[in-house]
Structure 1
Amino acid sequence: MNRTIIIVGVLLLLVVIAYFYFAYALVPNEPQLSAKIEQATIQVNNQTRSYLYYIPKKLSPKPALIIALHGTGMNADKMRQWTAYEFDQLADQKGFAVIYPNGYKGNWNDCRSDAPFPAKKENIDDVGFIRSLIENFSKDYGIDPGKVYVFGFSNGGQMALRLAMEVPNLVAAVSAVSANLQTPATCSCVLEGQTSRVMLVAGTKDPINPYNGGEVTLFGLKKIGTVVSAQDPRKVWLNGMVPQLSL
């Protein structure tokens, strides 16, 4: 009984911390754009998945596509806000398309075998979701298949790394922010062949994703596997795991 109370108390504390962490971050004013943000849904394995997307008024011929993946507990709207709407503004300047997918119950089925989130536990086909979005936008807007890039923050960054490892033919490059590579012992993904090109962005004082590697914890309370140091992921992963990790 006491153990149950403690577990419930910890979960409630996590919810409170996450609420203040995400709800009270500074939100910039939405800028003037050449077009409006659109909402849409798509069916993936009998599930209705939702997303936001932005197509600038002047879309380039055979344009690039940027897919921005939010972190745990966030959504597509929050991702636009947290990136200060800069992807949309760059899309106006450079003529590319942007998609902001919504994760399943606020999270993604990434490569962390210890992840406690619904998308992982229910084995949601997030790779299939991203693949379907790319295929649809290639058909509808003439996206250049060689210019598909994924940007992800935290859990979204981990999902971006999964795409880089499992479907490198689908994604030219990924940028993972606050999401180091998992150690082989806590990685559930297939690690064979050449990856997409990868850029890791890590903070030396990140309280969740340790810059020097080690245990990932949710605000110091919930352990979520272990990661490789942001300084040298290549050395660890090239030892029989990923033949050609492209950094």
Structure 2
Amino acid sequence: MHTKRTLKKFLQRLLLSLVLVVSLGAGLFGYFLYTPDAIEPKLSGTLQTATIDVGGVTYTYRLYLPNNLPEHAPLVLVLHGSGQNGAQIRMETGFGFDRLADAKQFAVLYPSSKSFDWNDCSNTGDFQVDGRELDHQSYLNTLVDRLVATHQFDRNRVFVTGVSSGGFMSLRLALESASRFRAVAAVSANVPAAGNFKCKLPRGEVSANSSNEAASVAGASSSSGTADTNNTANLGNAAPPDGSAGLDSAARTKHATSSVLFINGTADPLVPYQGGQAALWGMFFDSGEVLSAQASAEFFARLNQLQQQTPNTAEQATERAATTTFERRVWQGDSGVQVELITIPSGGHGMPQPDWQRPRLLGPSPMSPNGPELIWQFFNRSTQQSAPQQP
């Protein structure tokens, strides 16, 4: 009898312990990971879902078209983060780009990557499906060309923004597809560091004796590609290890890249503002080593011969009684390309906006500044400059 009572108490305590563990786990999940979806607003237009086959791979995309959209309207691509799709980033940006599209008369494209990550400039990531590495640059270029032809969008006003992995992919398009994308905005993304960088830098006309200087932007290219001595330099397959190297003026094209906007939070737990290993807790969503946010902006500024135009300026933005002070740095020059860095003190990982709160696991989620509005303003300013051209 005594043995039965002891066993019964043991089982009761074990059951209670399991209940407590499950309850604690559910509580932690709810606190750190759960957040309710943003409520879709009443919009004027229609959302189309379609597929496109590129290189034998079928991709899905969503296209939002405001009502009475005029011919030659701008087109804005919004790229999702790791493990997501176009529908999710549409919601997680608070439907902010759709709202703006109604007000400013442009179309919004939400492509899905099919793989876990976009195949951006970093060597690290999961961009394979069925053992095949996906060519997302060709996919997006082909999709844009088709939609521009079908819907008569303005070819000179095609823009791309992205969050996290989508932001990294935006930077690749700024480097390698500048003739298609007038400006890009990378949110919670930095330039991959040397050893983690596989993109080709823009080609520039150089003399034989300046080829070494041209290659120096790749951070000592002895292991990652050499410059030609044939009056051209292939500035590819590497990135500066600290953002400090620069091109000789003779080695640059007038329009090396698209205009680029960076939006980064200083409390981002996944993509460190000061640079380093981009991974959550050093283990999850690993994107390899990256430059700091400022070094990333300076990298694009040097490629385009830009100088910082003003001292760092502090600005305030208020959304629904929530006020945030953020910092803006601007680089400009004669090339028609502009680079900006917006720093959000104590901001976490993701698009700042007032209509959806990110999971606490990704750090603080400020309601202001309104990221989609800042991005559209930057895109609109970029059209006041001459368009970039690929050599």
TM range (shorter): 0.7 to 0.9
Contact 1:40 1:50 in 2 (8 A): yes
Change (3 A) 1:152 1:22: farther
Change (3 A) 1:122 1:81: same
Q: Note the aligned Cα RMSD (angstroms).
A: 2.3
Change (3 A) 1:235 1:51: closer
From 208, 217, 220, the equivalent of 2:279 is: 217
Tell me how far apart the structure 2 counterparts of residues 214 and 46 of structure 1 sit (CA, whole Å).
Answer: 36
Tell me how far apart the structure 2 counterparts of residues 122 and 98 of structure 1 sit (CA, whole Å).
Answer: 29
Contact 2:46 2:67 in 1 (8 A): no
Match of 1:158 in 2: 168
Q: Does 1:36 align with 2:98?
A: no
Q: Which amino acid aligns with 1:220?
A: G
Q: Which amino acid aligns with 1:200?
A: F
The alpha-carbon deviation at position 52 of structure 1 amounts to 0.7
In the alignment, structure 2 segments of 5+ residues that lack a partner are 1-28, 204-255, 307-337, 340-391
Q: Does 1:187 align with 2:197?
A: yes
From 140, 148, 151, the equivalent of 1:141 is: 151
Q: Does 1:124 align with 2:134?
A: yes
Change (3 A) 1:89 1:61: same
Question: Residue 145 of structure 1: SS of its match in structure 2?
Answer: coil
Q: Which amino acid aligns with 2:111?
A: P
The 5-angstrom pairing of residues 101-112 of structure 1 reads 101-112=111-122
Q: Which moves more between the two structures, 63-72 or 187-196?
A: 187-196
Tell me how far apart the structure 1 counterparts of residues 173 and 32 of structure 2 sit (CA, whole Å).
Answer: 25
- Runs of 4+ more than 3 Å apart: 19-23, 234-239, 242-246
Tell me how far apart the structure 1 counterparts of residues 297 and 63 of structure 2 sit (CA, whole Å).
Answer: 34
Q: Does 1:73 align with 2:83?
A: yes
Q: Which amino acid aligns with 2:96?
A: E
The alpha-carbon deviation at position 21 of structure 1 amounts to 10
The alpha-carbon deviation at position 90 of structure 1 amounts to 1.1
Q: Does 1:226 align with 2:289?
A: yes
The alpha-carbon deviation at position 61 of structure 1 amounts to 2.6
Contact 2:127 2:133 in 1 (8 A): no
Percent identical? 37
Q: Which amino acid aligns with 1:179?
A: A
How many residue pairs end up in the alignment? 226
From 43, 47, 70, the equivalent of 2:57 is: 47
Q: Which amino acid aligns with 2:275?
A: G
Q: Which amino acid aligns with 2:186?
A: A
Report the TM-score, using the length of structure 2 for normalisation. 0.54
In the alignment, structure 1 segments of 5+ residues that lack a partner are 1-18
Report the TM-score, using the length of structure 1 for normalisation. 0.84
Tell me how far apart the structure 2 counterparts of residues 113 and 144 of structure 1 sit (CA, whole Å).
Answer: 33
Change (3 A) 1:79 1:113: same
Q: Which amino acid aligns with 1:136?
A: R
Contact 1:213 1:228 in 2 (8 A): yes
Q: Larger C-alpha radius of gyration, 1 or 2? A: 2
Q: Which moves more between the two structures, 69-78 or 181-190?
A: 181-190
Contact 2:271 2:279 in 1 (8 A): yes
The alpha-carbon deviation at position 60 of structure 1 amounts to 2.4
Q: Which moves more between the two structures, 98-107 or 49-58?
A: 98-107
CA deviation digits over 1:169-217, x for unaligned, max 9?
Answer: 0100000001011113210110124010100111101011010111111
Q: Does 1:201 align with 2:201?
A: no
CA deviation digits over 1:54-100, x for unaligned, max 9?
Answer: 11112123100000000001111111110111111111111111110
Tell me how far apart the structure 1 counterparts of residues 151 and 295 of structure 2 sit (CA, whole Å).
Answer: 38
CA deviation digits over 1:200-245, x for unaligned, max 9?
Answer: 1111010110101111113421443211111232545677xx4658
Q: Which amino acid aligns with 1:225?
A: G
Question: Residue 37 of structure 2: SS of its match in structure 1?
Answer: coil
Change (3 A) 1:217 1:87: same
CA deviation digits over 1:93-129, x for unaligned, max 9?
Answer: 111111100112332111111224436x733111111
Change (3 A) 1:202 1:67: same
Question: Residue 46 of structure 2: SS of its match in structure 1?
Answer: coil
Question: Residue 62 of structure 1: SS of its match in structure 2?
Answer: coil
Contact 1:67 1:149 in 2 (8 A): yes
Tell me how far apart the structure 2 counterparts of residues 59 and 28 of structure 1 sit (CA, whole Å).
Answer: 25
Contact 1:54 1:98 in 2 (8 A): yes
